[in-house]
Structure 1
């Protein structure tokens, strides 16, 4: 593996989300996309050809390329741990899509494998590194609203089956609104407030079956195996968050509001990298928009931060430890909903350091 220069990257999983990653990763001069793998090797070849990636094929094909240093795991949730383990055993660092794994046992196996081999783990989402949430983090640290005392966060819609041609995996273990959309909100809250300590929750499943709404399988019914509406109360250091995650809501809502002793912040949608950041003080008649600074480059900046950190020997921000803590939190929410009581979140994590305001994904820093 090269000790200098751009970091070699391979993507595993050539589905819908791969295009967003590849558009960005192929534009960042500090990484070099070398391979694309998929169970459907024809699809891998088509995606690789579209973005000028030289190697395509199976997972084994891209793992065999010595120049690949980071595997970006974009497979379905049920395959996250298996692909991560195979990649680590091939000597590659791994950055995975959310969730980190299906359960805590799988997550522990992946973490132990990485630790034993001296390899790094990273995990989506990296949206908390975007301009909106990084500017919110700076505002909190500067005391703009005083001490945070309460948080309200919600993501509500009718589910992805109306637009996604293969929505079944969203309703299997590792999916549902909590595991699909929850990581964006929970990762942002941990980055802003610190690690979660305990949770209480109520969950429900509105329907036992859903229907594909678009594509060649339109009209096909499929089973629902996970809760589709989740309310959770989460204790963070010094404050508590009331959260809602729903695929059952005709009201489409995406929001995080933080109330402090000296005012309030309204954050941009944490499933994006930008958007307005609003503040309101005790004397304000309405919200006012705050200036923001940082990157809006999009999905893949967590991979780039990992690549630069590898060369510099510094910590990366969208870390495996952060992703595993969010998985622990989501697992505790699920169990609390089943048991109807407060449950502890047993892991902890240090909130990642903010990105420098002048951090530029398009600058060449590795030579």
Structure 2
């Protein structure tokens, strides 16, 4: 792998990208910009990467066969993504792509018109756990999938010691922004990305969301801290996905098939085990095997990153995929359609409230081609 990236935004998440970049041979950083000069200097000094005095200057010097990483706060995503595309740069955005569907559609149209790639985090869909799960599905390990239960619950976060969560280069966890943006926009993509990659488009979202913990620290208004969605795919099983910063930590996904249950317990670990528990009848009792089989791929996968904080994920898998697609002249697995559709579904969950009922999705995307080592 090889290529060049430029970085806009030096906050908490940017350190996770830099840790991941160190595991990826051949990818270099052309320049870094942040509107906070002190934070920019601190970040660039820590990681030994070149700083740039303005966003315009960064975009001017950015190689057009590279990828710009937009790691700014979510409220700035639309404007920064649009500026990157206007400058003729392939763009990889931290989640969400934009804060509303109209803005996301405008970015998609802008990228399409310019012939540019526009991708959205998270990229764990390209990781070993997601790809192993997909391989098991395609090979019918559990039989025909009939239902999916997925959880992205992170514990009662407003009572956590989040002011002690400091990144490697010294950036604090942006708790106020996180509470305003909400856990659904921040986290739903971790399993939505997997699901859409396997089954393609979500046809209908039936969801509810609410702020269940009032009085969070910081200036509101705050987003819902709990959402529960039922997803109906064009070509997939009925799925229930829950996001919260209320319920005890649970990142499990289970696919219930005719022959048993495929499961993974750690969305934020590229190396998490994927297991299959065969269904059986012992005497008169129907049950899944208490000794599930671990599913493994038969060849090397991708560079891994050691756990830091809550995650053991390679955040550079997405930019690396885009760089390889640019270099080889093929479509990226993280397509413009994929980014837009995942954004629309996520926003439907986030904004559902109490009375939205069934929401018909207006965007579509195809299932994702598996990684070569998972085919």
Q: TM-score range with shorter-chain normalisation?
A: 0.7 to 0.9
2:224 — aligned with what? 227
2:128 — aligned with what? 131
CA contact (8 A) 1:26 1:51 kept: no
1:214 — aligned with what? none
TM-score (norm 2): 0.86
The CA deviation string for residues 63-83 of structure 1, in whole angstroms up to 9 with x for no partner, is: 121436311000111111100
Match of 2:214 among 196, 208, 217: 208
2:42 — aligned with what? 46
CA 238–90 in structure 1, closer or farther in 2 if over 3 Å, else same:
closer
1:179 aligns with 2:177: no
CA contact (8 A) 1:151 1:242 kept: yes
CA 84–344 in structure 1, closer or farther in 2 if over 3 Å, else same:
same
Match of 1:295 among 275, 297, 302: 302
Paired residues for 1:76-95 under 5 Å? 76-95=73-92
Partner Cα separation in structure 2 for residue 155 and residue 70 of structure 1: 29
Paired residues for 1:40-119 under 5 Å? 40-67=36-63, 69-119=66-116
1:309 aligns with 2:317: no
Q: Report how many aligned residue pairs link the two structures.
A: 343
SS of the residue corresponding to residue 238 of structure 2 reads strand
Partner Cα separation in structure 1 for residue 156 and residue 344 of structure 2: 26
110-119 vs 148-157, which deviates more?
Answer: 110-119
1:198 aligns with 2:204: yes
The Cα of 1:285 is off from its aligned counterpart by 3.7
Name stretches of at least 5 consecutive residues in structure 1 with no aligned partner. 212-220, 360-367
CA 296–255 in structure 1, closer or farther in 2 if over 3 Å, else same:
farther
RMSD (Å) for aligned C-alpha atoms: 2.1
CA contact (8 A) 2:97 2:340 kept: yes
CA contact (8 A) 1:328 1:345 kept: yes
The CA deviation string for residues 58-108 of structure 1, in whole angstroms up to 9 with x for no partner, is: 312211214363110001111111001111111111001111111111112
326-335 vs 193-202, which deviates more?
Answer: 326-335
Partner Cα separation in structure 2 for residue 57 and residue 208 of structure 1: 40
CA contact (8 A) 2:10 2:33 kept: yes
